[in-house]
Structure 1
């Protein structure tokens, strides 16, 4: 070979190696998105992913862009004119089943206020190039049909290591409350209360029977979404369009060959359970919480994501940003910039169904919206309003909204407290465990404004419309989309030790 030709070939190979290396990530980077505007964009029995054009059988707490509606084909989410996200170019929608409190005394059912949500975008170590979500992409995590704990009860997001466990409940606790186990030591998760995560003393599967009273950190739902996308499947086909990456043997996780590696989305949703702290007895192997689908166990925790990102903005964040818990807005040069507090407060969607589950008052007719029956190990018939199975003489009393100090309320703009004010100095007792995580959540000076969403009186509930059939895409290699029990986790990120 001629010397110049050989030189050119070597230079080309070197350039290719450098390009390939540049697309790989040796360590995790991440950023967070926070939400304001009264915390919920709306509360509504709509689900444009599972029930497009129809009505869901259970209530959802929704946040994100105001394009949210019953039917959102294609990239409809990007058409939003405002968002409750503090990042202006994130018009995505995120939603979870709403939470309720069922009084152990008389069966009265109350909505639980959403305290605040927070969404993490993890850019994980991988040999793949991480790309922004395709337009119109949507996905689910968790399984609404589950009423039993995972088997084995193992914290796992890697399908190569067994069944994935994508959702858990986390219970940050004060120093005085953290001495007792979060779940009964002998609980198998099938008889009245959930089951402990053996690698983390502050979390597990199913509702715990202890008080979650960490500083600004009541009961929290944790949901991890898949981060591998099949380019040969319709982005709207949430059942087959995604899966979780697997261990690549090099300290990272890769997607199946030919799939697109997207950000790992993780949602934390805090519920204001402390308003009911004097209304039930802790540590007795029973819990008072009910999800809007009627689940009394908490195993059916799930969440939905519908992409509404400006593609260039998200790709810029993937390629250039690692602000961690300081938030994505701390990324220099982020396109679009911030959503102001006033803009977030003004951004809202009125649910068209004419239903109500106002925070602070018992549920109308003492029933869940959609008349979902209670299910799971604490299933029981609906009690008459104000009554129990044996005594209906107790009248239901409105529950006053929590009167937390302004410093204990979430905000779209969070400011770190001085080091001396962090939980370590307040005696928050981080719960160390074999997995190396801690179960408390570090804190911020936080506040918010509660906004009541009004719905039209006498609204008509449209009949549910079945989802249109979607052509199945070609299965790729060893991705476990066919065994999606909605349990996932190969490696829970160590967010327990992060400063929020």
Structure 2
């Protein structure tokens, strides 16, 4: 695999940053709506091919999946978010395409960039034990039903960036950008990273975790006694290519921004994400215990500890469609007849 050079500050702590191609786009959500096919709204999913309407986490997902759309072939986890749509003046909808993030994503097919970091934790991580997620672990972040900014700011690590170019960072907002973005919109999802040390899940899929992050990749506060176990800081970046829809003559006549989540949310407050752990064996723990950083975690690099695969192997990993409906092209309504709010 061909890696591009990346200039970053020297860090002594392990961190992963890697691309995952799209596995499927359909109405499935085995964490929040297990067994429902279809689920309430469309998701874009990356990762291992054990994904389905129901994922039995009593069986190790890392052993069940036979391939993954992620660069690191030992990562059979699944990562998913809602899907972004453009709403035209005539009321029809078109799914917004995704494109690969910057740096060492050659050949990736749409998808997302995934992070597992230690840098954002309190104090010097060399004094801290970062514990990998155990088999069966799952969690969510965000609220798919949120309709107000007050609800959104409770999740201070869920934001948007209006991309001036592919490398634009900062100037994050809780709302979808209100002006055309020259290089699209990046949706950012940071998960909490303090675990109660007991539960693989919770009824709301969030209470077993605690968020001490301050937003972005800033240094977080220490974990509380109720959730004392430090785990990797998982984050997603999704690059939505809104540029085909940047002509404001296509936007609503009142000038309001035209993008809506598959939840029906036209403001951006309902952005959310799901995580289902599926790394093989002790591969994630080995990475967190190492000094490897980003692309240097690949086993073909000095000090690397993780197996990698080619973009062709990533893109060849697929699953069969189980919800038979149109999610692409021009649609008269959002899939599932979801109403815009």
Aligned to 1:115: 99
- Distance in structure 2 (CA, Å) of the matches to 1:301 and 1:246: 18
Aligned to 1:241: 208
Aligned to 1:222: 188
Give the one of 29, 48, 68 matched to 1:83. Answer: 68
Q: How does 1:11-90 map to 2 (within 5 A)?
A: 29-35=14-20, 39-55=21-37, 56-74=39-57, 75-78=59-62, 79-90=64-75
Question: What is the CA distance between 1:302 and its match in structure 2?
Answer: 0.6
- Distance in structure 1 (CA, Å) of the matches to 2:207 and 2:151: 23
Question: What is the CA distance between 1:342 and its match in structure 2?
Answer: 2.1
Aligned to 1:134: 134
- CA offset digits 1:399-458 (Å, max 9, x no partner): xxxxxxxxxxxxxxxxxxxxxxxxxxxxxxxxxxxxxxxxxxxxxxxxxxxxxxxxxxxx
- Distance in structure 2 (CA, Å) of the matches to 1:243 and 1:213: 36
Query: CA RMSD, aligned part only?
Result: 2.8
In structure 2, relative to structure 1, the CA distance for the partners of 1:73 and 1:289 (3 Å cut) is same
Look up the SS of the partner of 1:31 in the other structure. Answer: strand
1:172 equivalent to 2:138? Answer: no
In structure 2, relative to structure 1, the CA distance for the partners of 1:146 and 1:328 (3 Å cut) is farther
Aligned to 1:315: 285
Which consecutive segments of 4 or more residues in structure 1 shift more than 6 A?
none
1:208 equivalent to 2:177? Answer: yes
Question: What is the CA distance between 1:346 and its match in structure 2?
Answer: 1.2
Give the one of 235, 239, 243 matched to 1:266. Answer: 235
- Distance in structure 2 (CA, Å) of the matches to 1:29 and 1:172: 28
- Distance in structure 2 (CA, Å) of the matches to 1:45 and 1:246: 30
In structure 2, relative to structure 1, the CA distance for the partners of 1:76 and 1:43 (3 Å cut) is farther
Question: What is the CA distance between 1:92 and its match in structure 2?
Answer: 0.4
- Distance in structure 2 (CA, Å) of the matches to 1:246 and 1:174: 27
Look up the SS of the partner of 1:314 in the other structure. Answer: helix
* Structure number with larger C-alpha Rg: 1
Question: What is the CA distance between 1:43 and its match in structure 2?
Answer: 0.7
Aligned to 1:344: 314
In structure 2, relative to structure 1, the CA distance for the partners of 1:284 and 1:318 (3 Å cut) is farther
Q: Is the CA contact 2:82–2:271 (under 8 Å) kept in the aligned structure 1? A: yes
Aligned length, in residue pairs: 303
1:97 equivalent to 2:82? Answer: yes
Q: Is the CA contact 2:157–2:189 (under 8 Å) kept in the aligned structure 1? A: yes
Q: Is the CA contact 1:83–1:90 (under 8 Å) kept in the aligned structure 2? A: yes
Structure 2, unpaired ranges of 5+: 1-10, 101-111
Q: Is the CA contact 1:228–1:261 (under 8 Å) kept in the aligned structure 2? A: yes
Question: What is the CA distance between 1:369 and its match in structure 2?
Answer: 1.1
Structure 1, unpaired ranges of 5+: 1-25, 154-162, 179-199, 376-500
- Distance in structure 2 (CA, Å) of the matches to 1:132 and 1:82: 21
TM-score (norm 1): 0.56
Q: Is the CA contact 2:141–2:155 (under 8 Å) kept in the aligned structure 1? A: no
- Distance in structure 2 (CA, Å) of the matches to 1:81 and 1:201: 37
Question: What is the CA distance between 1:239 and its match in structure 2?
Answer: 3.3
Aligned to 1:20: none
- Distance in structure 2 (CA, Å) of the matches to 1:151 and 1:352: 33
Q: Is the CA contact 1:40–1:114 (under 8 Å) kept in the aligned structure 2? A: no
- Distance in structure 2 (CA, Å) of the matches to 1:373 and 1:170: 25
Aligned to 1:370: 336
